Amino acid sequence: MPETSRRGLLFGTAAVSAGAFLTACTSNEPKSTGDSAAPNAQPAADDKPGKPVTIGFAGPQADHGWLNAINVNAKSRAEKYSEVTLEITEGSNDTAVQIGQVKTLINKKVDILVILPADGKALTQVGLEAMRAGIPVINLDRVFASPQAYRCWVGGDNYGMGLNAGHYIGEQLKGKSDAKVVELAGIDSLELTKQRSQGFADALKNYSNIKLVARQAADFTVESGQAKMAQLLQAQKKIDALWNHDDDQGVGALRAIQQAGRDEFVMVGGAGAKSAMDAIKADNSVLKATVLYPPTMAASAIDLARALGQSKGVGGLSEMEIPTSITLYSAVVTKENIDQYLPTGFS
């Protein structure tokens, strides 16, 4: 995934989703509509029906708020288009099962495949199989090991999440000597966790007064977030900031913080859950910001798949073809811009 530094963009208030660009196809009068079924989705692409397109969608089990939001965005966006048929599998975290589900979609001869792999490396071969069968693949978020396994990749910026979280914390702690920061990461075996941590570490290098004093890896669950945060708090009697990689595990982290009666630090979350945004707006806890990882990428993937199936390009770009990759921006949401981003929060 791209790991470009975006420090200069950190303090902007507007994040540009891939969906914002997917507005023009072949019509001379493109129009966009709001997404009432999924308020966190960007406006749909040109609604004027084109030729029928069958899109196969395969993702992991929706056992997490963000993954559930991915499914909601994909389904809701597909429903916007009368000519689009969405063949969606029952999500699975078992790579063998997911491979079988993708093979079934290939055998059904869907026009386009959208795949969010439980494991990008493990699903690479079936992505290659689809491409060789003449079925273009939109690789969503967790990237395949080979670019030959997909026509287009669209996803979040994990490195950028860490980078922007680090710069936000750095600016909050400017002028504070010997500032201590702790990190509550996700699952260390995942490449995305490594990228988020690397971005965070790189950002903190710009602030000589800040030291990362402790780090714990949780499992993207409420329970693990609470347990690991309790361990961090017990070990660190005073801290100045916390970056938590994921808002779901952040629910548990906040419980541990409240139970410990600690409020001397600033907490920054990750992903953009509605619970986190509500807490930021209420401004009654240590949680002061969250760094977005927009599930709207699934809606954008459906837009891209539709455009591919109808041989259309992307609005706002001169090229006749859709791009090979689109990286979404990880905006920092605070009480100053919360009203702008609150509708994008997912449950």
CATH classification at residue 187? 3.40.50.2300
For residues 31 and 155, give the distance between their C-alpha atoms in angstroms, rounded to a whole number: 25
- Rounded to the nearest angstrom, the gap between the alpha carbon of residue 171 and the centroid of all alpha carbons in its chain is 24
Short-list 37, 43, 66, CA closest to 276: 66
340 part of a folded domain:
no
Among 159, 161, 181, CA closest to 170: 181
Specify if 166 maps to a domain: yes
Domain match, 278 and 306 both: no
pTM above 0.85, yes or no: no
146 and 23: one domain?
A: yes
Q: Are residues 35 and 49 in the same domain?
A: yes
Looking up tokens 């997911």 gives 98
Whether 275 and 306 share a structural domain = no
Domain membership of residue 323 (yes or no) is yes
* Same-domain pairing of 283 and 306: no
Say whether both 194 and 245 belong to one domain: yes
How far, rounded to the nearest angstrom, does the alpha carbon of residue 152 sit from its chain's CA centroid? 16
268, 292, 316: which is the final residue of a domain?
292
Residue entry with tokens 């470009």:
4
Q: How far is CA 111 from CA 26, 60, 87, 107, in A?
A: 19, 21, 10, 11
CA 150 – CA 157 distance, rounded (Å): 18
The number of domains in the chain is 2
Evaluate whether residue 339 is within a structural domain. no
Half-sphere exposure of 175 (CA within 13 A, CB side): 2
φ, ψ of residue 270 to 5 degrees: the values are -150, 135
pLDDT at 81: 96
**One digit per residue, pLDDT tens: the chain, 347 residues?**
333 332 233 333 333 333 434 433 333 233 333 333 344 444 445 668 889 999 999 998 988 889 999 999 999 999 999 999 999 999 999 999 999 999 999 999 999 999 999 999 999 999 999 999 999 999 999 999 999 999 999 999 999 999 999 999 999 999 899 999 999 999 998 889 999 999 999 999 999 999 999 999 999 999 999 999 999 999 999 999 999 999 999 999 999 999 999 999 999 999 999 999 999 999 999 999 999 999 999 999 999 999 999 998 887 778 889 999 999 999 999 999 999 999 999 98
CB-based burial, 175-188: b 16+ in 10 Å, e otherwise: eeeebbbbbbbbee
Beta strands in 227-340 (DSSP E): 241-244, 266-271, 287-292, 325-327, 332-334
* Statement to judge: residues 87 and 211 lie in one domain: no
188 and 75 in one domain? no
Q: Assess whether 249 and 305 both reside in one domain.
A: no
List the domain range (segments joined by +) for residue 268: 158-292
The residues facing 131 across adjacent strands are none
304 and 279 fall within a common domain = no
Confirm whether 10 is domain-assigned.
no
Domain contains 4: no
The predicted pLDDT at position 1 comes to: 39
Residue where the block lists tokens 């073809």? 321
Same domain, 29 and 151: yes
pLDDT at position 46, please? Answer: 61
- Residues 278, 164, single domain; the answer is yes
Residue 313 has a pLDDT of: 85
| Euclidean distance between CA atoms 138 and 273, whole angstroms | 25
Asked whether residue 343 is assigned to any structural domain, the reply reads no
